[in-house]
Protein backbone atom coordinates (compact mmCIF):
# COMPACT_ATOMS: atom_id res chain seq x y z
CA UNK A 1 0.00 0.00 0.00
CA UNK A 2 1.47 3.32 -1.09
CA UNK A 3 -0.03 5.87 1.25
CA UNK A 4 -0.08 9.60 0.55
CA UNK A 5 -1.13 12.39 2.90
CA UNK A 6 -2.98 15.13 1.04
CA UNK A 7 -5.02 18.20 1.85
CA UNK A 8 -8.62 17.11 2.07
CA UNK A 9 -10.84 18.73 -0.53
CA UNK A 10 -14.60 18.89 0.14
CA UNK A 11 -15.48 18.36 -3.52
CA UNK A 12 -13.34 15.24 -3.81
CA UNK A 13 -13.49 13.87 -0.26
CA UNK A 14 -16.73 14.91 1.49
CA UNK A 15 -18.59 11.70 0.66
CA UNK A 16 -15.78 9.49 2.01
CA UNK A 17 -15.39 11.67 5.11
CA UNK A 18 -19.13 11.41 5.70
CA UNK A 19 -19.00 7.62 5.40
CA UNK A 20 -16.21 7.42 7.99
CA UNK A 21 -17.92 9.87 10.36
CA UNK A 22 -21.21 8.00 10.12
CA UNK A 23 -19.60 4.63 10.73
CA UNK A 24 -17.97 6.07 13.86
CA UNK A 25 -21.29 7.54 15.01
CA UNK A 26 -23.32 4.39 14.43
CA UNK A 27 -20.86 1.71 15.52
CA UNK A 28 -18.21 3.14 17.88
CA UNK A 29 -17.65 5.46 20.79
CA UNK A 30 -14.96 7.35 18.87
CA UNK A 31 -17.50 10.11 18.24
CA UNK A 32 -20.01 11.04 20.90
CA UNK A 33 -22.83 11.75 18.49
CA UNK A 34 -26.13 9.92 17.97
CA UNK A 35 -27.29 10.80 14.47
CA UNK A 36 -25.52 10.29 11.15
CA UNK A 37 -24.31 13.42 9.42
CA UNK A 38 -25.86 14.67 6.22
CA UNK A 39 -23.76 15.91 3.32
CA UNK A 40 -24.69 19.43 4.43
CA UNK A 41 -23.32 18.71 7.93
CA UNK A 42 -20.02 17.53 6.47
CA UNK A 43 -19.73 20.56 4.20
CA UNK A 44 -20.41 22.86 7.19
CA UNK A 45 -17.68 21.02 9.11
CA UNK A 46 -15.24 21.56 6.22
CA UNK A 47 -16.27 25.22 6.06
CA UNK A 48 -15.71 25.71 9.78
CA UNK A 49 -12.21 24.27 9.52
CA UNK A 50 -11.40 26.46 6.52
CA UNK A 51 -12.76 29.59 8.25
CA UNK A 52 -10.63 28.89 11.32
CA UNK A 53 -7.49 28.27 9.28
CA UNK A 54 -7.36 24.66 10.45
CA UNK A 55 -6.11 21.84 8.24
CA UNK A 56 -8.09 18.83 7.12
CA UNK A 57 -5.84 16.12 5.73
CA UNK A 58 -6.52 12.73 4.22
CA UNK A 59 -4.61 9.50 3.82
CA UNK A 60 -5.20 8.19 0.32
CA UNK A 61 -3.99 5.38 -1.88
CA UNK A 62 -5.07 4.00 -5.25
CA UNK A 63 -8.32 2.73 -3.70
CA UNK A 64 -9.35 6.15 -2.36
CA UNK A 65 -9.58 7.89 1.02
CA UNK A 66 -8.44 5.66 3.91
CA UNK A 67 -8.81 8.14 6.76
CA UNK A 68 -8.67 11.81 7.65
CA UNK A 69 -7.55 14.09 10.45
CA UNK A 70 -7.93 17.66 11.54
CA UNK A 71 -7.70 19.96 14.49
CA UNK A 72 -9.65 22.96 15.62
CA UNK A 73 -10.33 25.38 18.40
CA UNK A 74 -9.93 23.90 21.86
CA UNK A 75 -11.93 26.56 23.72
CA UNK A 76 -13.29 29.94 22.70
CA UNK A 77 -11.26 32.18 25.02
CA UNK A 78 -8.27 33.97 23.43
CA UNK A 79 -5.71 32.64 25.91
CA UNK A 80 -6.27 29.16 24.43
CA UNK A 81 -5.07 30.28 21.00
CA UNK A 82 -2.00 28.03 21.10
CA UNK A 83 -3.99 24.90 22.01
CA UNK A 84 -6.05 22.82 19.58
CA UNK A 85 -8.09 19.67 19.82
CA UNK A 86 -7.38 17.14 17.11
CA UNK A 87 -9.18 14.12 15.72
CA UNK A 88 -8.15 11.20 13.55
CA UNK A 89 -10.59 8.84 11.88
CA UNK A 90 -9.69 5.78 9.82
CA UNK A 91 -12.04 3.78 7.63
CA UNK A 92 -12.95 0.50 9.33
CA UNK A 93 -11.33 -1.55 6.52
CA UNK A 94 -7.97 0.21 6.92
CA UNK A 95 -7.40 0.25 10.68
CA UNK A 96 -4.20 -1.18 12.21
CA UNK A 97 -2.23 -0.57 9.01
CA UNK A 98 -0.38 2.64 9.90
CA UNK A 99 -2.96 5.03 8.48
CA UNK A 100 -3.81 6.65 11.82
CA UNK A 101 -0.12 6.98 12.71
CA UNK A 102 0.68 8.68 9.39
CA UNK A 103 -2.20 11.11 9.85
CA UNK A 104 -1.33 11.93 13.45
CA UNK A 105 2.35 12.47 12.63
CA UNK A 106 1.35 14.92 9.90
CA UNK A 107 -1.11 16.73 12.20
CA UNK A 108 1.73 17.22 14.71
CA UNK A 109 3.95 18.63 11.94
CA UNK A 110 1.20 21.02 10.84
CA UNK A 111 0.62 22.21 14.41
CA UNK A 112 4.33 22.99 14.77
CA UNK A 113 4.28 24.86 11.46
CA UNK A 114 1.31 26.91 12.69
CA UNK A 115 3.27 27.73 15.87
CA UNK A 116 0.83 25.96 18.16
CA UNK A 117 1.84 24.71 21.59
CA UNK A 118 -0.52 21.95 22.76
CA UNK A 119 -2.48 19.28 20.91
CA UNK A 120 -5.32 17.70 22.86
CA UNK A 121 -7.08 14.47 21.96
CA UNK A 122 -10.29 13.43 23.67
CA UNK A 123 -10.37 9.62 23.50
CA UNK A 124 -13.00 7.25 24.83
CA UNK A 125 -11.23 5.12 27.43
CA UNK A 126 -12.35 1.94 25.67
CA UNK A 127 -10.36 2.90 22.55
CA UNK A 128 -7.13 1.15 23.52
CA UNK A 129 -5.65 1.37 20.00
CA UNK A 130 -6.00 5.15 19.85
CA UNK A 131 -4.62 5.57 23.35
CA UNK A 132 -1.61 3.37 22.50
CA UNK A 133 -0.96 5.31 19.28
CA UNK A 134 -1.05 8.64 21.09
CA UNK A 135 1.29 7.38 23.80
CA UNK A 136 3.72 6.02 21.18
CA UNK A 137 3.89 9.50 19.65
CA UNK A 138 4.61 11.21 22.97
CA UNK A 139 1.14 12.20 24.14
CA UNK A 140 0.59 12.00 27.88
CA UNK A 141 -2.59 11.36 29.82
CA UNK A 142 -3.85 14.71 31.11
CA UNK A 143 -7.00 13.53 32.87
CA UNK A 144 -10.25 11.66 32.48
CA UNK A 145 -13.80 12.88 32.81
CA UNK A 146 -15.79 9.91 34.03
CA UNK A 147 -19.29 9.45 32.68
CA UNK A 148 -18.79 12.37 30.30
CA UNK A 149 -21.09 10.89 27.68
CA UNK A 150 -23.93 8.43 27.34
CA UNK A 151 -24.20 6.24 24.26
CA UNK A 152 -25.23 2.67 23.46
CA UNK A 153 -27.03 2.45 26.80
CA UNK A 154 -23.97 3.10 28.94
CA UNK A 155 -21.89 5.88 30.45
CA UNK A 156 -18.68 6.74 28.63
CA UNK A 157 -15.44 7.99 30.15
CA UNK A 158 -13.45 10.52 28.15
CA UNK A 159 -9.67 10.57 28.56
CA UNK A 160 -7.64 13.57 27.46
CA UNK A 161 -4.18 13.13 26.01
CA UNK A 162 -1.90 16.04 25.28
CA UNK A 163 1.31 16.66 23.41
CA UNK A 164 3.19 19.81 24.34
CA UNK A 165 5.28 21.25 21.51
CA UNK A 166 8.26 23.59 21.75
CA UNK A 167 6.45 26.12 19.57
CA UNK A 168 5.71 29.00 19.42
CA UNK A 169 9.14 30.56 19.70
CA UNK A 170 7.72 33.80 21.09
CA UNK A 171 4.17 33.45 22.47
CA UNK A 172 2.25 36.65 22.94
CA UNK A 173 -0.81 37.77 24.86
CA UNK A 174 -3.67 39.24 22.90
Has residue 67 been placed in a domain?
yes
User: Quick check: 68 and 56 in contact, CB under 8 A?
Assistant: yes
Model confidence at 174, pLDDT cuts 50, 70, 90, reads: confident
Say yes or no to pLDDT of 66 above 80: yes
59 lies in some domain: yes
Question: Is 83 a domain residue?
Answer: yes
Domain around 89 = 4-164
Q: What is the CATH number of the domain that holds 71?
A: 3.40.630.30
In a domain, 135, yes or no: yes
What's the pLDDT at 144?
98
For 5-30, the pLDDT digits (tens) are 999 999 999 999 999 999 999 999 99
Alpha-carbon distance values, 82 to 72, 118, 140, 143, 173 (Å): 11, 6, 18, 19, 11
The model's pLDDT over 77-116, given as tens digits with 9 standing for 90+, comes to: 999 999 999 999 999 989 888 999 999 999 999 999 999 9
- What's this model's pTM, rounded to 2 decimal places? 0.93
Helix axes 128-136, 99-113, angle to 10 degrees: 50
pLDDT in tens, 24-59: 999 999 999 999 999 999 999 999 999 999 999 999
Q: How far is it, in rounded angstroms, from Cα 96 to Cα 106? A: 17
Banded model confidence at residue 1, pLDDT cuts 50, 70, 90? low
In a domain, 169, yes or no: no
What are the angstrom distances between the C-alpha of 104 and each of 36, 44, 147, 174? 24, 23, 26, 29
| Domain count along the chain | 1
Amino acid sequence: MTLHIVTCNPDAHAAAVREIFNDAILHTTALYDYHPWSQTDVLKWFGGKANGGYPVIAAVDASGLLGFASYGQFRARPAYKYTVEHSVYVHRDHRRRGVGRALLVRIIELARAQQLHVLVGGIDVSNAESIALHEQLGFRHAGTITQAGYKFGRWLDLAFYQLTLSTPAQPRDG
